[in-house]
Structure 1
Amino acid sequence: MRTGEPLPYVGDVLAALATGMWHWDTATGLVTVDAEAARLLGLPPERTTLTEAQARARLHPVDWNEITGVVQLAVAEGTLAEVRIRIMDEHGTVLRVVRSRSKPSYDPGRRAYELVGTLQEVTEPTPGTPAARSAVTGDWRRSREAFLLDAGRALAEARSTAEVLRVAGGLSMPGFTPDGLVVFGVEGDRLTITGQHGHQPRDMNPFSHMALATDYPATEVVRTGRAVYLSSPDEYKDRYPVTWPLARHFGRRSWAFLPLTVAGRTMGAWLAAFAYPVAFTPDERAVLTTVARMLAQALSRAEAAESERELTEGLQRSMLPSLGPDIPGMRLAARYIPTGGGLQVGGDWYDMIPLPSGRFALAIGDVQGHDVRAAGLMGQLRIALRAYASEGHRPDAVLSRASRFLHGITHEARDQQASDQRFATCLYVEADPATGMLEIARAGHPDPAVRMADGTVMMRPTAGGLPLGIDPDADYPTTRFALEPGETMMLCTDGLIETGGHDMESGWRRLRAILEDHQGDVEALADALVQGVHGPSSHHTTGPLADRREDDIALVVLCRPGEGCGCGDVVTVRPTVRRTLLSVAQDEPERIAEARQHVRELLHDWVSADQVDSAVLLVSEMVTNVLVHTDADALLLAEVTGDTCGRRLRVEVTDAGDDLPHRRRPGELASSGRGVMLIELLADGWGVDPRGEGKSIWFELYESGEADAGGGVDIEMDIDVDVDVDVEAALEAGAGEGAA
């Protein structure tokens, strides 16, 4: 400058400093480099233009991903983008490490980045040398604290031995990093290998099951509980000449063997081997010792958790049955999923019991609680149910005896601990495979659901009593209906319905949609029901799902093969007939509400809401008249036939009475006589058929094909009374919700 000569070009100065320049425009996808940058990239030293793919091929894939993230951050913060990049040759070998510094900018109009920067080779000091240690001396404490904090967090989050070993293998210690790790355990008087990193599995065979009396560093650590540091091969050879030949061929230069100690007990040893000499300064030994302590704690937690999980899953698996042999004429699938929190045991169960009559029984239930006590009671109750069923008792007697049994054993527990009062819900089904006839007794459990052959899904209300164990003298009435060919029945505990914040109503709607849409066999349907609530699971009856569950789940799916069931090899077209059958006894007026619910579910996709309300009103009227005006029981048969928007509903109510209904004109204050008038007003057709002993009164409705805006039944009559008194009498007797 004093001589007045011009300054050299910037490119010449950078070249003299072994620094290259580059330019990258993401809009064109081209990267331009000068001669020095080309040399650093492993290309001929001349100015050239590369495509993004060509430039990317010269960089380590991990570093390329880091570049894109750094560029976006630099643009957002208005700073320089700086990153270290490993340059690769065509064989995938690292040629050198370079530092890239650039000033990126973003053009919103072109939606592209433009970068101008430099490349400069980074000379890495040899690991383990004074230069390497001096490079981190100033930040040693900060780096060590950050490393230990990250390592402790990662090891604390590891849930299994495999995860702990994976975390240990990925540890990168500040200033010195081992390239070989081995975790040794102890089994009797032998050394075992729990896991390793940086070795071929067969290379570790000589060290597996080595006697603790052997002259080897790891065995000495286990025997004494003191660490062994070997800074050089000569030191290793001098101190352990017997086992030095086994370690020599690995080519390592330094070794650290540290005890894995928990609660004062040495459970094993940890080997960290280095490919370069390490002096093992006090700071380095402190880091290794701290890592060994954290590793021992993590392994201890993982082993305890795995032992507990294996024990509880084995306990639960031993209490749950296999489904046994195939049932001629039936297809059966079951699933059990324990709760996601705490112990993997609970009180839910299912069972399939062969009966002396040639029939079989299905039982599903839920003992209160999610602990070992609940699992124990579940096992006892399941055995008791199986014993009572095998003796040939009917479903009501099986549940009555089971309730007395559970009340007895929980009463003893209450005498010892007042807070331990348990009960159980249960649903017991006796099935005849030949006819499909089911006889059901229920103890406080959710009702079964049935998917008909045409895909219609209905909840099947069944008679029931108190949960088991509450009242030793409780009665359990039974309900009989037939599972028709092509129909599928689902039994489940409330965990499948109510999990995920749902109540019984919203949870049932969710399951109903799955049942309606599924067209596979019973195994696929069982998986679909579980996955629809909790996500993917296995085909096993036990085992945790990935997500966290509020309650255990037990599920049984029973199918009678036929068209629409999906149990055969060929999926056939679903028929267009759906029907429901319900018996209402004289002493069961509350079941009139169930009859109304049956009809509503049968017409769940009916176009006209007014017609649905009309059908429900007429069914309530017809069944109520049987209970009020005869001494017989009422048998309701409802059937839907035809295609959508052209369907017909036919309802028959049969009883054993001889009196035929006839039309009357009741006075204004009359308490009855309007049933026939309602049928004439609302039905498209009706009639009465004598049946020898008794009669059958029926009506038909034809789907209108037009949706109604309103939801009620609009009836104009020449009488000034709104509700049939016959219906009111049934409601006063306990029939449930209003009929109109």
Structure 2
Amino acid sequence: MTDEERNRRSGEIGPTERLAMNRTGSFDWDLDTGTIDVDDAGLLVFGVAPDAFDGRPSTLVQDLDPAERTRLERVIRDAITGGRSSYTAHVRLERADGTPQWTHVQARILRRDSGMAHRIVGIVRDATAEVTHSAFVLDLEKRREAQTTIVERTTHALSRAVTVDDVTAALTGPGGLARLGAEGLALGLVEHGSLNLIALTGESLEAFEDFRSRRLDRGLPLAETVLSGRPRFVPSFLSLAQDFPELAPYVNRMPFRSACYLPLVAQARSLGGMALFYRRRSTFNADERNLLLGLAAIVAQSLQRAILFDEERELATGLQATMLPRRIPEITGGEIAVRYHAAWSGRQVGGDWYDVIPLPRGRVGVVVGDVQGHDTHAAAIMGQLRIALRAYAGEGHAPSTVLARASRFLAELDTNRFATCTYAQVDLAGGTVRGVRAGHLGPLIRHTDGRVGRPKLRGGLPLGLATVFGDEEFPETRLDLVPGETLVLCTDGLVEQPGTDIETGLAALAEAVGSGPPQAEALADHLSERLWERWGSGDDVALLVLRRSPDPGTPKAPRIHQYIHQADPQGLSDARAAVGQALVDWGMPELADDAELLTGELLVNVLLHTEGGAVLTLEVLPEPVRRVRLSVQDRSSAWPRRRTPGEAATSGRGLLLMDAIASRWGVEPRGEGKAVWCEIGPGAANGNGNRHASGNGNGNESRTANGATGGR
């Protein structure tokens, strides 16, 4: 009697039985003969009946899936040929009842002295329980990792949301549904007893547009969730048609299997509700429900912050709007556009302002300024200062006087605040601009050919400080706007960016002014889009664009105007080129060379012998004798004098040259200065230097070329 038989008779369990009871068996594989000996427990693991086993390895694994069999054979072959002494493998097979079973094989390879494998011994066991548990744990960890990812991504996206629109964009924009782990979303806010859907995204959800705004009652699942404050999880989406008959026509058209309705509550205040829709999910376990409730809390907190921000913004911008002019007066001879953009800083409202002031004698005053600080106090001071400055300007005072009195007014308010501004009186009929600065940015001028200049506007101290320091001097600078030119005033919010030199912003502004459309309104929109959206959101921005109406003449008598600054040598070359090109465009190329030569002589005299720039006008005089007229206007009251240059002289020949080329020429008084003009083309040229020079036919004084109109 063997030990095992004695153990069975005595009631004890032997080692083999213990292994068999745990579905563990052994095998001995003779590689020389190709046979394998497997005990009954091992055969049971492989699902092979003992009386049906023929000792062949292929019979042992015949019930394995072909892919599993191939994988097991590869593991064994690699172990034998690779010189290893052991191998392990997990293989999946199906039991007779169709349930899956995982079998673990662990074997040792016996080799001869030559290293050739001749025998494999090992064990096989049913590892289904541990593999299933491991898979469950892995799946649980995977689901928890996915839930953590959903929370992290949603929190990160909403952390950057400032307004309600930002919140909805984070939830419905690219990747929004993926972050939530859903295929559809509806978001509603409670407003004045109604539930308004502010976001709908997902396939077929546009059908819910019919419920965009409804009274808050229990006829719909989202409204019921908001009223009860309890979530509603719907494993079967089609069941909504039974519980809410009003939804029946819509539910059957949608591709969802389940949905959940979540209340949005923050600080005990019901803000609204959120609905998530799913294509594949049909259950909501405890972990998933907790995750969804956590998402709802995150969205509710973001919405609460955004609603508060929007309310503060509405309050701040409303206050600012009451301080700015309600309307801009219409002007004759030009067009004006203004823009104001508030900084994205909640209740912090700034002191930037603009104003357009009708003045006596058809003039107009334009001002752009900025009161120190970003709070309601700054806005209130701005409103008072704007009204005071408007009153001083309307009385007809000179620009320097207007700013001096405004500085005194601000100092007397005793607010410890100062303000900067640029103020200009503009005569659109004559194009004269008298500008003053008080610690503010100077203007930009866009010329008719698209070039942009930054004239040097002399300035004084900021308003308020000027009075405190006893220096209320605000020197005036005269500029000229020719027809079609544009004056641009702005506050520093349009050109400043933290960490960037202001010259970079000014260069960007000049480039945007030059590349924009000529019309005032279109140019203001262009600047707002190009610059304020680029870096102006951190500060308030006030912008004023004033354009003098263009004067192109008529098709039969075209006309161009151009301003040449005294400190701009390139402007002389540009003016000559513009004159030549214009005559070519007008079909008079034979006069281009003479016109360019005379343009240079007239402009050089002004730039050398006066203290300001010049306005060049080129026009074609209509029939009966079609000819070209050049006129250069300056600010000097001194009229030119004829003199005879010596052989070594470097000047004095300009008017002699003009006398030889022009048909007629002369001098006319113009406001505070004069205009020197000449005509070329078919006319009264007789070659003797005694051409008649007259005014423009409107009563101006006539002189001869040999009289007081001699050259400088």
Return the TM-score normalized by structure 2.
Answer: 0.55
Shift of 1:187: 3.8
Shift of 1:166: 5.3
CA contact (8 A) 2:400 2:475 kept: yes
Q: Which amino acid aligns with 1:209?
A: R
RMSD: 5.5
For residues 51-86 of structure 1, give each alpha carbon's deviation from its aligned partner in whole angstroms, at most 9, with x where no partner exists.
xxxxxxxxxxxxxxxxxxxxxxxxxxxxxxxxxxxx
Aligned to 2:187: 183
Aligned to 1:561: 549
Q: 2: distance between equivalents of 1:220 and 1:519?
A: 54
Q: Which amino acid aligns with 1:557?
A: V
Picking from 436, 440, 445, the partner of 2:440 is 445
2:425 pairs with 1:430: yes
Q: 1: distance between equivalents of 2:381 and 2:675?
A: 50
For residues 369-421 of structure 1, give each alpha carbon's deviation from its aligned partner in whole angstroms, at most 9, with x where no partner exists.
34443333222222222233344444333322221222222x1x3xxxxxxx3
2:146 pairs with 1:143: yes
Aligned to 2:481: 483
Shift of 1:287: 1.2
Greater mean alpha carbon deviation, residues 522-531 or residues 227-236: 227-236
For residues 276-307 of structure 1, give each alpha carbon's deviation from its aligned partner in whole angstroms, at most 9, with x where no partner exists.
78443211211111111112122222322333
For residues 546-578 of structure 1, give each alpha carbon's deviation from its aligned partner in whole angstroms, at most 9, with x where no partner exists.
55556443332322223479xx9x9x9884854
Aligned to 1:210: 216
2:367 pairs with 1:363: yes
Cα 1:355–1:210 change in 2 (3 A) is same
CA contact (8 A) 2:238 2:257 kept: no
Q: 1: distance between equivalents of 2:245 and 2:143?
A: 36
Cα 1:295–1:432 change in 2 (3 A) is same
Secondary structure of 2:408's aligned partner = helix
For residues 302-351 of structure 1, give each alpha carbon's deviation from its aligned partner in whole angstroms, at most 9, with x where no partner exists.
32233333333334344333663532211222333444666674332211
Q: Which amino acid aligns with 2:156?
A: R
Aligned to 1:400: 404
Structure 1, unmatched stretches of 5+, are 6-12, 18-131, 414-420, 535-543, 581-595, 608-614, 624-634, 643-647, 664-675, 700-740
For residues 459-492 of structure 1, give each alpha carbon's deviation from its aligned partner in whole angstroms, at most 9, with x where no partner exists.
4444543221113362434444553334332323
Shift of 1:201: 4.7
Aligned to 2:267: 263
Q: 2: distance between equivalents of 1:173 and 1:489?
A: 50
Cα 1:188–1:134 change in 2 (3 A) is farther
Q: 2: distance between equivalents of 1:186 and 1:698?
A: 71
Cα 1:215–1:271 change in 2 (3 A) is same
Q: 1: distance between equivalents of 2:350 and 2:237?
A: 57
Q: 1: distance between equivalents of 2:519 and 2:234?
A: 64
CA contact (8 A) 1:638 1:649 kept: no
Secondary structure of 1:266's aligned partner = strand
Q: How many pairs were matched up? A: 496
Cα 1:227–1:603 change in 2 (3 A) is same
Aligned to 1:525: 523
Secondary structure of 2:273's aligned partner = strand
Higher RCO (C-alpha 8 Å, min separation 6): 1
Q: 2: distance between equivalents of 1:172 and 1:245?
A: 30
Aligned to 2:384: 380
Secondary structure of 1:471's aligned partner = helix
Aligned to 2:73: none
Cα 1:182–1:388 change in 2 (3 A) is same
Q: 1: distance between equivalents of 2:675 and 2:394?
A: 42
Secondary structure of 1:378's aligned partner = helix
Secondary structure of 2:325's aligned partner = coil
CA contact (8 A) 1:444 1:467 kept: yes
Q: 2: distance between equivalents of 1:450 and 1:307?
A: 39
2:350 pairs with 1:346: yes
CA contact (8 A) 1:499 1:551 kept: no
CA contact (8 A) 1:192 1:210 kept: no
Q: 1: distance between equivalents of 2:495 and 2:237?
A: 66
Q: 2: distance between equivalents of 1:477 and 1:288?
A: 68
CA contact (8 A) 1:442 1:464 kept: yes
Q: 1: distance between equivalents of 2:272 and 2:450?
A: 61
Q: 1: distance between equivalents of 2:233 and 2:476?
A: 77
Shift of 1:359: 3.1
Secondary structure of 2:263's aligned partner = strand
2:161 pairs with 1:155: no
Aligned to 1:590: none
For residues 344-375 of structure 1, give each alpha carbon's deviation from its aligned partner in whole angstroms, at most 9, with x where no partner exists.
74332211122355432211112223444333
Q: 2: distance between equivalents of 1:399 and 1:260?
A: 55
Q: Which amino acid aligns with 1:332?
A: I
Q: 2: distance between equivalents of 1:272 and 1:293?
A: 14
Cα 1:258–1:352 change in 2 (3 A) is same
2:285 pairs with 1:287: no
For residues 597-638 of structure 1, give each alpha carbon's deviation from its aligned partner in whole angstroms, at most 9, with x where no partner exists.
4x557458699xxxxxxx999999967xxxxxxxxxxx6565
Cα 1:484–1:155 change in 2 (3 A) is closer
Secondary structure of 2:177's aligned partner = coil
CA contact (8 A) 2:667 2:675 kept: no
Q: Which amino acid aligns with 1:558?
A: L
Cα 1:133–1:662 change in 2 (3 A) is same
For residues 246-287 of structure 1, give each alpha carbon's deviation from its aligned partner in whole angstroms, at most 9, with x where no partner exists.
355525775544332212333333334556784432112111
CA contact (8 A) 2:359 2:365 kept: yes
Secondary structure of 1:404's aligned partner = helix
Greater mean alpha carbon deviation, residues 326-335 or residues 216-225: 216-225
Within 5 Å, give how 1:455-494 maps onto structure 2: 457-472=452-467, 474-494=472-492
Aligned to 1:328: 332
Q: 2: distance between equivalents of 1:393 and 1:236?
A: 76
Structure having the larger proportion of residues in helix: 2
Q: 2: distance between equivalents of 1:516 and 1:497?
A: 15
Shift of 1:226: 3.8
Q: Which amino acid aligns with 1:426?
A: C
Secondary structure of 1:369's aligned partner = coil
CA contact (8 A) 2:163 2:310 kept: yes
Cα 1:352–1:270 change in 2 (3 A) is same
Shift of 1:143: 2.1
Shift of 1:153: 1.9
Q: Which amino acid aligns with 2:487?
A: M
Shift of 1:424: 1.3
For residues 225-247 of structure 1, give each alpha carbon's deviation from its aligned partner in whole angstroms, at most 9, with x where no partner exists.
4434455689989xxx9x54335
CA contact (8 A) 2:482 2:615 kept: no
Q: 2: distance between equivalents of 1:215 and 1:691?
A: 85
CA contact (8 A) 2:493 2:538 kept: yes
For residues 78-128 of structure 1, give each alpha carbon's deviation from its aligned partner in whole angstroms, at most 9, with x where no partner exists.
xxxxxxxxxxxxxxxxxxxxxxxxxxxxxxxxxxxxxxxxxxxxxxxxxxx
Cα 1:471–1:525 change in 2 (3 A) is same
Shift of 1:209: 0.9
2:301 pairs with 1:303: no
Is the radius of gyration larger for structure 1 or structure 2? 2
Cα 1:399–1:4 change in 2 (3 A) is closer
Cα 1:156–1:245 change in 2 (3 A) is same
Within 5 Å, give how 1:683-702 maps onto structure 2: none
Q: Which amino acid aligns with 1:333?
A: A
